Structure 1
Amino acid sequence: MTNKLFLQEPYTREAEAQVIARTPEGGVVLDSTIFYPTGGGQPGDSGTLNWGSGSTLDIATTIKGEGNQIVLLPAAPAALPTVGSVIRQQLNWERRHRHMRIHTALHILSVVIPLPVTGGSIGTDKGRLDFDMPEPLENREELEEGINALIDRDLPIGETWITDAELDANPGLVKTLRVQPPRGSGKVRLIAIGEGREMIDLQPCGGTHVARTGEIGRIHFGKVEKKGATNRRVNIVLDV
């Protein structure tokens, strides 16, 4: 099993770890990692591994492996560190941080458009949510102003955990229609935007987020696309 440092310390850019396995496909499994694996619409992290006397391995992406393992996949076939060796992992921080900004912005998008979510995707410059939205989006400019107003409040972002049973008793916390929060460990992670009376959102999520909404920066609405009889895709773009 891989300890998920990316959840505990999402701002950590470098960390040591021990290699516990190598996969037949040429992947590396560590006992703990700062690399987020592809999931929930968020791409897997990239970066480098360093060990020994100058050995380096470029990591193109990260995926979930068997059980609770997380697999770091090289950008090209190369010599891998041996099982048991200690390596230093270095995150492509600029790419990850932009994912964090977009991911958090999408949570706020689901606040200003309070409709069931049917899908989503996160990129380095833009992201999107698909909504169960039978009617066209008529107040686009007002919604864009609304999401940026919430971002400008610089609300803190935190996490809490509830049991599977507590989630079952509060189904309204789940905004997604087709994707359910990961279960199996007996508890579910919730991401809160704001605190106390200023909380604007609380929903299950296993991704990485910025510490405060002000860190997102300004958001612009992109295309709003019809993707089915009642499905519409709303794209957002980072200003910088």
Structure 2
Amino acid sequence: MSATVRQFDHAPYQHVITAEVRAVAEHAVAVDCTVFYPCGGGQMGDTGMLRDEAGHSMPVVDTVKGEQGLIWHRLDGELPAVGARVELELDWARRYRLMQMHTAMHLLSVAVPFPVTGGQMTPDKGRLDFDVAGDALDKAAITERINGWITEDLPVSVEWITAEALAANPELVKTVGVAPPTDGGQVRLVCIGEIDRQPCGGTHVARTGEIAPITVKSIKNRGARNRRITLEWQPTGEGGTS
């Protein structure tokens, strides 16, 4: 069985697609192509709606990766049969917020130039863990730097390189102990202006100016060398959104 086509890799703003059901499991279906991002890389799986040809709607409550490159959509309702044509529609407001936050996480990794040991995000906040020994990190300075790049409205683009090219340029990988995602020997790079270029399989906005202003909510010690930095949207009244 062929892998699910990851439409979001090339068209992250597409939020509706027609697909064919390829496999059915308990409470979930896999399709031939999808705009739904599966949970991974710290980004939550997409949610939304699936509609069958009879017009019945079923909520998609999560999206996850499966074997052989399949992407599974977990449903709350009766499952369509294999071979059925369905329409998948994202909860776009939630996805777009995740795209904003994921791009903000990349900016954080530039503002704090240390190895990344972990990360996670929701539509409302995101955090990265850094391997930092003895360095004083300033919340206000990091916030100002990230919001400066947001104000600059830098372009965000994608390019593909071979796994061999990545191996020859290991400095592109910021995460510790996590291999970048590959697709047939190709590695997807997300590039932000001239300031960042790193492997990533997640979804991002097209320009940093689309990100609402953020604030560094906290910097916490999680061990002798681990610093956890959490970003949140600036509260309403401070130039951002709640």
Same fold? TM cut 0.5: yes
Q: What's the CA shift for 1:114?
A: 0.5
SS state at 2:218 partner: strand
**SS at structure 2 position matched to 1:67:** helix
> Which residue does the alignment assign to 1:142?
141
Match of 2:181 in 1: 182
Aligned-partner residue type, residue 36 of structure 2: F
Partner of 2:155: 156
1:94 is matched with which residue? 93
Report the TM-score, using the length of structure 2 for normalisation: 0.93
Unaligned runs of 5+ in 1: none
CA distance in 2, matches of 1:138, 1:144: 11
Q: Distance in 2 between matches of 1:190 and 1:4?
A: 15
C-alpha distance in 2, partners of 1:159/1:214?
Answer: 17
Amino acid at match of 1:221: V
Q: Are the counterparts in 1 of residues 60 and 73 from structure 2 also a CA contact under 8 Å?
A: yes
Q: When the two structures are superposed, what TM-score results if normalisation uses the length of structure 1?
A: 0.94
Aligned counterpart for 1:7 among listed residues 6, 9, 13: 9
Identity %: 46
- Who is 1:20 aligned against? 22
Kindly state the Cα deviation for residue 221 of structure 1 after the two structures are TM-superposed: 0.6
Residue 231 of structure 1 corresponds to 226
Alignment of 1:107-122 (within 5 A): 107-122=106-121
The Cα shift of 1:117 comes to 0.5
SS at match of 1:206: coil
Contact 1:119 1:178 in 2 (8 A): no
Tell me the distance in 2 between the aligned counterparts of 1:136 and 1:114.
Answer: 11
Q: Deviations over 1:116-135 (max 9, x none)?
A: 10000011100000000122
Please tell me whether the aligned partners of residues 99 and 122 of structure 1 are also in contact (alpha carbons under 8 angstroms).
Answer: yes
CA distance in 2, matches of 1:146, 1:129: 16
SS of equivalent to 1:143: helix
Q: Counterpart in 1 of 2:50?
A: 49
Confirm or deny: 8 A CA contact 1:128 1:233 kept in the other structure.
yes
Instruction: Identify the residue that residue 68 of structure 2 maps to in structure 1.
Output: 67
Shift of residue 143, structure 1, vs aligned partner: 1.6
Q: How many residues align?
A: 233
CA distance in 1, matches of 2:136, 2:152: 25
Deviations 1:56-107 (A, max 9, x none): 1111110001111000001x3x211111111111100011111100000010
Q: Indicate yes or no: 2:221 matched with 1:219.
A: no
Q: Deviations over 1:153-196 (max 9, x none)?
A: 001100111111100000000001121202362110000001xx
Segments of 5+ residues of structure 2 without an aligned counterpart are: 235-240
Q: Distance in 1 between matches of 2:183 and 2:90?
A: 28
Shift of the alpha carbon at 1:136?
5.0
- How far apart are residue 53 of structure 1 and its match? 2.4
Give RMSD over aligned pairs: 1.1
For 1:219 and 1:174, locate their aligned partners in 2 and report how far apart those are by CA, in whole Å. Answer: 25
CA distance in 1, matches of 2:124, 2:97: 7
